[in-house]
Structure 1
Amino acid sequence: MPVESDDELRQILELDTVAVVGCSTTEGKDAHEIPKYLQEHGYDVIPVNPYADEIFGRRAYDSLADVEEDVDVVDVFRPSDEVGGIVDAAVERDDAGVIWTQLGIRDDEAAERAENAGKRVVQDHCMKVEHQRLMG
């Protein structure tokens, strides 16, 4: 069952390192502005974008599998039909305990696979909105 309670969301928002799959270099896009907000609020944001070398002064990785640092949360800014592959990559990692899909992004089948693998899943919620609401 995907995470819905405020208590569980708060616990997740207290984690530190967020790999942002689909992080954008384009100012004004949600996939740029939300990770920027997270970085400005103390999160260690790791950009994942195969078309960028660097975002926010950090190396951008081509894929989640390429990320060398430990990851707490995988934040997904990709279309719903790509979530399954991202979930599979997250399940392969021992470190990524949470998979978070942004507003309008969900894949119930992939979420169930992630949960069966011991991951917590937040679907169709904005990490910035939840942070402002619960931690602000």
Structure 2
Amino acid sequence: MPIEGDDELRDILELDTVAVVGCSSTPGKDAHEIPKYLRDHGYEVIPVNPFADEIFGREAADSLADVDEEIDIVDVFRPSEEVPEIVDAALERDDVDTVWMQLGIRDDDAAKRAEDAGKRVVQDRCMKVEYGRLMG
């Protein structure tokens, strides 16, 4: 079951490094403003976007496989139909603790695969909202 309890969410929000798949270079878009908020609140944000060269003054990775740093959380800002592929990429990494799907994004089958592989999963929740509610 995807994580919904406040204690478990708080535990996830205490992690440090977030790879944001679908991070946008366009100010005003949620996929830009929410990662910016996370950066401003102490998270190491790694933008993952094959169509951007740089976001937040940092080189954007083309894929999760191209990220050299260790990743704690994969934060998904892509349509639900792309989640299975993103989960596959997350499962290829030993370092990913949690797959977090933003508001409106969910895939129960992919979530179960991630959980069966030992990953924590959050679906259809905003990291910014949960951070403000639980950590702010």
Question: Considering the TM-score relative to the shorter chain, is it more than 0.5?
Answer: yes
Distance 2:97 2:10 in 1: 15
Q: Does the residue aligned with 1:124 lie in a helix, a strand or coil? A: coil
Aligned to 2:27: 27
Distance 1:27 1:56 in 2: 10
Give the TM-score taking structure 2 as reference length: 0.99
Question: Could you list the runs of 5+ residues in structure 1 that have no partner in the other structure?
Answer: none
Aligned to 2:86: 86
Distance 1:114 1:47 in 2: 21
Aligned to 1:96: 96
Distance 1:100 1:64 in 2: 14
Superposed CA RMSD: 0.3
Aligned to 1:17: 17
Aligned residues: 136
Aligned to 1:3: 3
Aligned to 1:115: 115
| 1:15-67 per-position Cα deviation (integer Å, ceiling 9, x unaligned) | 00000000000100000000000000000000000011110011100011111
Letter in 2 for 1:13: L
Aligned to 1:135: 135
| 1:93-117 per-position Cα deviation (integer Å, ceiling 9, x unaligned) | 0000100000000000000000000
Distance 2:73 2:101 in 1: 10
Q: Does the residue aligned with 2:37 lie in a helix, a strand or coil? A: helix
Sequence identity percentage: 78
Q: Does the residue aligned with 1:74 lie in a helix, a strand or coil? A: strand
Distance 1:74 1:88 in 2: 12
Q: Does the residue aligned with 1:50 lie in a helix, a strand or coil? A: coil
Q: Does the residue aligned with 1:18 lie in a helix, a strand or coil? A: strand
The 4+ residue runs of structure 1 with deviation greater than 3 A are: none
2:56 corresponds to 1:56:
yes
Question: Could you list the runs of 5+ residues in structure 2 that have no partner in the other structure?
Answer: none
Q: Does the residue aligned with 2:86 lie in a helix, a strand or coil? A: helix
Aligned to 1:126: 126
Distance 1:17 1:113 in 2: 22
Letter in 2 for 1:36: K
